[in-house]
């Protein structure tokens, strides 16, 4: 599958190909203050799935931590995706892929939630063990 999208103003365009490695919601405070939303709906892909087709020179990067290179359009401020080089994955915000059927499987950093979501999906206190977290889960 092939998903085309662009930033808020259209300066930056990119295509995502294939299927995501994982999908879910991040409830961490960093995602919250970055996105200005109560949760961040993420889809994780292998970096080679992502191709910037227009406006690459208008992509800004901010690192609060080495593990997350957060990308946005320097013309409109619209958010694009976050590189997670330590995981070998790129988080393309689910809202940026309107043609992708979003199927969240997991919640991460649920101990920081300000918007509990009762959907029956696993709620990791921080992160799954295979991604360097405690693997502990919390009730909804
Ligand atoms: Zn833009
Ligand atoms: Zn987060």
Ligand 2 center from residue 17 Cα (angstroms)? 23
Q: In this predicted structure, what is the pLDDT of residue 74?
A: 98
Q: In this predicted structure, what is the pLDDT of residue 47?
A: 97
Ligand 1 center from residue 83 Cα (angstroms)? 18
Ligand 2 center from residue 75 Cα (angstroms)? 24
Q: In this predicted structure, what is the pLDDT of residue 60?
A: 98
Q: Which ligand is located closest to the Cα atom of residue 10? A: 1
Distance set, CA 132 to CA 14, 28, 38, 49, 135 (Å)? 29, 15, 24, 23, 8
Distance set, CA 102 to CA 19, 62, 75, 92 (Å)? 11, 26, 27, 12
For the whole model, what pTM was predicted? 0.94
Ligand 2 center from residue 2 Cα (angstroms)? 26
Average pLDDT, the chain: 96
* Mean local confidence (pLDDT), 15-38: 96
Ligand 2 center from residue 28 Cα (angstroms)? 4
pLDDT class of 125 with cuts at 50, 70, 90: very high
* Mean local confidence (pLDDT), 107-127: 97
Q: Which ligand is located closest to the Cα atom of residue 71? A: 1
* Mean local confidence (pLDDT), 99-119: 97
Q: In this predicted structure, what is the pLDDT of residue 4?
A: 97
34: left (phi over 0), alpha (psi -120 to 50) or beta: alpha
Interval 55-64: pLDDT, tens: 999 999 999 9
Q: In this predicted structure, what is the pLDDT of residue 113?
A: 98
């Amino acid at each position: 599958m092939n998903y085309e999208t662009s930033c808020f103003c259209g300066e930056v365009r990119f295509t995502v190909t294939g299927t995501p490695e994982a999908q879910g919601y991040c409830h961490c405070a960093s995602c919250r203050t970055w996105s200005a939303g109560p949760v961040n709906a993420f889809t994780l892909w292998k970096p080679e799935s992502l191709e910037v087709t227009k406006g690459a020179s208008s992509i800004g990067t901010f690192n609060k931590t080495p593990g997350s290179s957060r990308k946005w359009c320097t013309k409109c401020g619209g958010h694009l995706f976050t590189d997670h080089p330590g995981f070998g994955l790129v988080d393309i915000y689910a809202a940026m892929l309107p043609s992708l059927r979003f199927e969240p499987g997991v919640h991460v950093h649920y101990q920081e939630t300000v918007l509990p979501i009762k959907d029956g999906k696993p709620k990791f206190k921080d992160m799954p063990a295979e991604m360097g977290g405690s693997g502990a889960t919390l009730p909804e």
